[in-house]
Amino acid sequence: MMSNTKKLVNMAVLIALSVVLVYLIHFPIFPAAPYLEYDPADIPIIFGAFAFGPLAGLIIAVIAAVIQGLTVSSASGIIGIMMHIFATGSFVIVAGNIYKRSKTKRSGIMALVLGTLTMTFTMVLWNIIFTPIFLGAPLEAVLGMLVPIIIPFNILKAGVNGTITFILYKRLRGLINEHESVVQLNK
């Protein structure tokens, strides 16, 4: 079993990787909503939820969102931080809980699909609340953006990040296991 110190170090590395990824890769998908940018920053966060459980995934999401919101994504302010926590937090709680129960390829796929759907549904609700404030636009304008922009954006972003996580997780999970094995051999 991994010591708490090693677990915290691994979680910190995932947080740092998340911040670096959003710094290096971010671009708008829909011209009508340039503030909705794709970034792969959730991949290390989902990885953390799979490796260490849903609570660890949520902790990683909150810390990464705050650091990103105060540095590389500072233009979106507190609303951006909160939206990131709600979006990624809902994803990792659902996906992490499903994967924690059964760590199979099938449950991994189910976890990522249900995490994507949960994030999308959650963000519909939070966009109705926060986007009028963020944009200074009437609620009707935001409601008109739900089907053509907000829902597809969240499905696309979560789906791409979930797919990349699925492809990389088993390969990269070995890094943590190898690290544990080396520690065990040195005892």
The string of pLDDT tens digits covering residues 92-104 is: 999 999 999 999 9
Topology of 4-21+40-178 in CATH? Answer: Arp2/3 complex 21 kDa subunit ARPC3 (1.10.1760)
CB 123 within 8 A of CB 86: yes
Percent of all residues in the chain with a pLDDT value above 70, rounded to a whole number? 93
Asked whether residue 135 carries a pLDDT value surpassing 60, the answer given is yes
As a whole-number percent, the residues of the chain with pLDDT over 90 amount to 86
- Asked if the model's pLDDT at residue 186 lies above 60, the reply is no
Q: Give the integer Cα–Cα distance in Å for 173 and 175.
A: 5
* pLDDT over 70 (residue 48): yes
Check whether 117 has a pLDDT greater than 80.
yes
Are the C-beta atoms of residues 165 and 43 closer than 8 Å to each other?
yes
Q: Which pLDDT value is given to residue 3? A: 86
Locate the domains of the chain by residue range.
Answer: 4-21+40-178
